[in-house]
Structure 1
Amino acid sequence: MGMMEKLNDLTTSGAREYLTFRLDQEEYGIDILKVQEIRGYEPPTRVANAPSFIKGVVNLRGTIVPIVDMRLKFNCAKSEYNSFTVVIVLNLRNRIVGIVVDSVSDVMELPPESLKAAPDIESVIDSSAVLGLGSVGDRMLILLDIEKLMSAPEMGLVSMSE
């Protein structure tokens, strides 16, 4: 699916709500419908042979949830854990995954006209997982297709839960 189809997809569905969060200097947005809950960071249980960005797993009310540190995944300069560090628990097609981010900003409704195609630039994020850019005032959000990002083969999450 090309960038334009993706944008058309976004723009035909009317305004959408995005949860925005920070990683390093960047602000990202993900579809609020994929977010199950937001919780404080607690050190997960390490998993042998997991990729370095998978910090481990936590037991969330009986469900074993892999915790992905997005800061390591996106090669952020630093990833310190402090009182702002949060885990966004995602519900992706019957798989629950937690992602660690620097902080959660807010929930924002983005009308279709505020979305732009992302320029094709080399980045650590697979460009097919970037839906586009959303601008709100002077803020620029990178809108992620979080489901696609989390189901990429190199995430290794598919085999973990099957």
Structure 2
Amino acid sequence: MAEEQLVTFSLGAEEFGMDIMRVQEIIRIPPITRVPKAPRHVEGVTNLRGNVIPIVNLRVRFGLTPAEETDLSRIIVLQAEKKVFGIRVDAVTEVLRLDTAAIEPPPPVAMGLDAQFIRGVGKVGERLLILLDLDQVMAGETKYEFSA
């Protein structure tokens, strides 16, 4: 049976998943430098081992209320549209394997998120994972080019 390996994370009470092959690493929240005139969901940039990468706050990107940083807050460094980004999440929960048969198309009313961001809903026991389409989530962000 075909399966996907996912990194799961939370934003408030919702749990999300993304393809582990897109994730480069998961780090604690580093110092972030604000960038003038950047969209509200782009918190700024950070220096990751000599590379300057933009940090996107997924709560703001999805229109959720911003949350205070906690000990569980993380940046997931990933690649989308051939660019490296960091996304701020409330907590990284686990890495898991999910049978593709347990993935359903997104519902017509996509839980308050733009349906374009969601590629499906995964069922893990009694839990539901919102599976993100990272290319759609990061669409348009590639115009923010930053260099060290």
TM-score by length of 2: 0.91
> 2:43 aligns to what?
55
Structure 2 residues without counterparts, runs of 5 or longer: none
Of stretches 89-98 and 115-124 in structure 1, the one that deviates more from structure 2 is 115-124
The alpha carbon displacement at 1:146 in A equals 1.0
One-letter identity of the residue aligned with 2:98: L
Other structure's SS at 1:161 match: coil
> 1:161 aligns to what?
145
| Percent identity of equivalent pairs | 36
The alpha carbon displacement at 1:143 in A equals 0.3
Aligned 1:120-159 pairs, distance under 5 A: 120-121=108-109, 124-151=112-139, 153=140, 157-159=141-143
Structure 1 residues without counterparts, runs of 5 or longer: 1-12
The alpha carbon displacement at 1:73 in A equals 1.4
The alpha carbon displacement at 1:123 in A equals 5.3
How many aligned residue pairs are there? 146
- Which has the larger share of strand? 2
CA distance in 1 between counterparts of 2:98 and 2:45 reads 33
The alpha carbon displacement at 1:122 in A equals 5.5
> 1:110 aligns to what?
98
CA contact (8 A) 1:126 1:149 kept: no
CA distance in 1 between counterparts of 2:108 and 2:102 reads 18
Of stretches 29-38 and 60-69 in structure 1, the one that deviates more from structure 2 is 60-69
Change (3 A) 1:142 1:78: same
Of stretches 95-104 and 71-80 in structure 1, the one that deviates more from structure 2 is 71-80
Change (3 A) 1:77 1:27: same
1:17 maps to 2:9? no
RMSD of the alignment, in Å?
A: 1.7
Cα distance per residue 1:100-155 (max 9 Å; x no partner):
0000000111101111111111555331221110010111000001122102x3xx
One-letter identity of the residue aligned with 2:105: A
Of stretches 120-129 and 107-116 in structure 1, the one that deviates more from structure 2 is 120-129
One-letter identity of the residue aligned with 1:36: Q
